Amino acid sequence: MESRDAERAGGDTSRGARRTRCSRRVIRGDASRRAAGSIKSLVYSPSVRNKRATFALVCQTLKYLPILKEVLASTGVLTSKWKKQEELVFVTAYDILFGQETAASGSVEQLIMLHKDTIMAALEKMCIRRKVRSVEDLVSKKRTVKPKPRFLRVNTLRTSTDSVVEELNKIHKVDKDELVPDLLVLPPGTDLHNHHLVSEGKVFLQGKASCMVAVALCPEPGWKVIDACAAPGNKTVHLAALMNGEGSITACELNKERTKTLQNTIRRSGANNIETINGDFLDIDSNDPSYAEVRAILLDPSCSGSGISTERLDHLLPSHSRGNQDDASTSSRIRKLSAFQRKALSHALSFPSVERVVYSTCSIHQAENEDVVSSVLPLASSLGFELATPFPQWRRRGLPVFEGSEHLLRTDPEDGLEGFFISLFVRKAAAAADAVKPSNGGLGVSKQVFKRRNGLMAFGSSRLSRMMMLCSTRGLSRR
């Protein structure tokens, strides 16, 4: 792998420099607890061309990072002169010592090559001192990550599930998920990041648990919907697909950079019924006439991400071991997050015409899940809401910490999925109205849903039948 000093005058735009900068962002962001995204989201961003090589470099550098820090400190290589570029030194040291040694064309490469013999001697002494045979044995054994299937959501705004299955079956074994419509299951490790179906927005690399969130909300075509904390946008464009591109979606995102990511996702999806707002969902006046007809709100707010820490490869980060020393579920960060989550959920329930609100997280902590729902139940009840049961056939429900928690839904790595939490609030008047509607599987699907888009049937018969099964009285069993 190439490595270049990205700090040189004029900046190096080589592939090696881009990979190195990506690695630096991960390490530096983790050190300050201000990471710009997960390891995977940084590596697989559009700005990184050679994604596979970059991903390998980042992960391997993090794997060897404790050893690199110790040996560079013991040899005096990391002097004050290089302290501001220490992340770059770590990445380059890994590349030269354990990766593919490259020509010393940059100042950092020259530094490591100059001291290479000293560093290697220090590594040998470390192995003797710790009674191991090789440097590889020095690498601490991280948790074993059980391979999970590769899930792929078909974007029905651009193509059909059957056509994607037909194409992918030529090179991969493809199954249709039995629970989530338009979700395909491929073998673990299947790499489709560079596949044209992904780049063209015809499919999205999205986990099953994440896909379950939009299906739980089950918005009807023609509705006005808010996605309260929308970036990176996978759930937003899933909502658009479920609505057949009809109606309108307001997608809110507070962070400016994440708003750009959200907009890129929307463009790739081809959805033309989504308006993005770079602002705080909490700043929206629920009594503003512009939002008087909002019928559904998806609230997937900032959370600890503890349910996807393995997927994010957080166990490779230096902060992971520090975090494990504390009881994460009662940490000050979790308390602050849960306070915000309660406030956001209460605000979502305050919109006058909203009928359905999904509150979801990718956290495993009770404080961010059951406790948040329990705390807003009195308000929800006063506004005419009750908890409904998304995916009633799903066996793993909420922790039994309050009456009604059986309506909540959890997914777990034991299920071969990420750790997600989903709750669904439905206004009782809307539930009663649904109960007297003519039976159409509970989807509220109008005849318009069946019109052809781009020569494709919007809802195929097999997809419709599965949606009907999922959404008895609109996908729910109610208490």
- Per-residue pLDDT of 154-198, as tens digits, reads 999 999 999 999 999 998 899 999 999 999 999 998 989 889 999
Nearest CA to 190 among 150, 147, 145? 150
Q: Which of 211, 252, 303, 362 is catalytic?
A: 362
Lowest mean pLDDT among 3-12, 314-323, 394-403: 3-12
Are 454 and 445 a contacting pair, CB within 8 Å? Answer: no
CA pair distance 20, 16, nearest whole angstrom: 6
Q: Tell whether 23 is covered by a domain.
A: yes
Query: Which is higher by pLDDT, 63 or 101?
Result: 63
pLDDT of residue 267: 98
* 294 Cβ contact partners less than 8 Å away, ≥ 6 residues apart: 224, 225, 226, 250, 351, 353, 354
Average pLDDT of the chain is 79
Say if residue 395 is in the same domain as residue 338.
yes
pLDDT of residue 55: 66
Exposure of 343 in the CB half-sphere (CA atoms within 13 A): 12
DSSP readout, 160-172? -HHHHHHHHTTTS
229 annotated as a binding-site residue:
yes
Say if residue 167 is in the same domain as residue 65.
no
Say if residue 226 is in the same domain as residue 309.
yes
231 annotated as a binding-site residue:
yes
Say if residue 190 is in the same domain as residue 215.
no
Please tell me which of 38-47, 59-68, 293-302 the model is most confident about, judged by mean pLDDT. Answer: 293-302
DSSP readout, 280-302? -GGGS-TTSGGGTTEEEEEE---
103 annotated as a binding-site residue:
no
pLDDT of residue 306: 83
Burial of 404 (0-12, 13-18, 19+ CB in 10 A): middle
Say if residue 120 is in the same domain as residue 265.
no
Q: Is the pTM of this model over 0.85?
A: no
177 annotated as a binding-site residue:
no
Lowest mean pLDDT among 83-97, 206-220, 368-382: 83-97
Q: For the segment 225-261, what is each residue's pLDDT rounded down to a tens digit?
A: 999 999 999 999 999 999 999 999 999 999 999 999 9
Q: Tell whether 239 is covered by a domain.
A: yes
Tell me how far CA of residue 305 lies from CA of 81, 281, 334, 471, in angstroms: 36, 20, 11, 28
Are 261 and 233 a contacting pair, CB within 8 Å? Answer: yes
The SS3 assignment for 275 reads: strand
Percent of the chain with pLDDT over 70: 70
Q: Tell whether 10 is covered by a domain.
A: no
Structure tokens at 10: 């004029």
Q: Tell whether 268 is covered by a domain.
A: yes
What does the DSSP 8-state code read for residue 251? E
Where do runs of H (alpha helix) occur along 224-357?
A: 234-242, 256-269, 318-324, 332-349
Tell which of 204, 232, 248 closes a domain. Answer: 204
Nearest CA to 232 among 42, 425, 25? 42
Query: Which is higher by pLDDT, 79 or 146?
Result: 79
- In single-letter form, the type of residue at position 274 comes to I
The answer to whether residue 303 is catalytic is no
386 annotated as a binding-site residue:
no
- In single-letter form, the type of residue at position 200 comes to E
468 pLDDT tier (thresholds 50, 70, 90)? very low
* 299 Cβ contact partners less than 8 Å away, ≥ 6 residues apart: 228, 229, 281, 344, 345, 348, 357, 358, 359, 360
235 annotated as a binding-site residue:
yes
Say if residue 327 is in the same domain as residue 440.
yes
Say which residue the tokens 């904390």 belong to. 229
Structural domain for 75, as ranges = 15-138
Please tell me which of 16-30, 115-129, 313-327 the model is most confident about, judged by mean pLDDT. Answer: 115-129
CA pair distance 440, 433, nearest whole angstrom: 14
Nearest CA to 176 among 155, 162, 194? 162
Indicate if the pLDDT at residue 450 is higher than 70.
no
Q: For the segment 105-152, what is each residue's pLDDT rounded down to a tens digit?
A: 678 888 888 888 899 898 888 888 888 888 777 775 444 556 789 999
264 annotated as a binding-site residue:
no
Query: Which is higher by pLDDT, 386 or 111?
Result: 386
Number of domains observed in the structure of the chain: 3
The residue-averaged pLDDT of 16-26 equals 55
Q: Tell whether 466 is covered by a domain.
A: yes
Structure tokens at 356: 């359905």
Say if residue 228 is in the same domain as residue 200.
no
380 annotated as a binding-site residue:
no
pLDDT of residue 440: 36
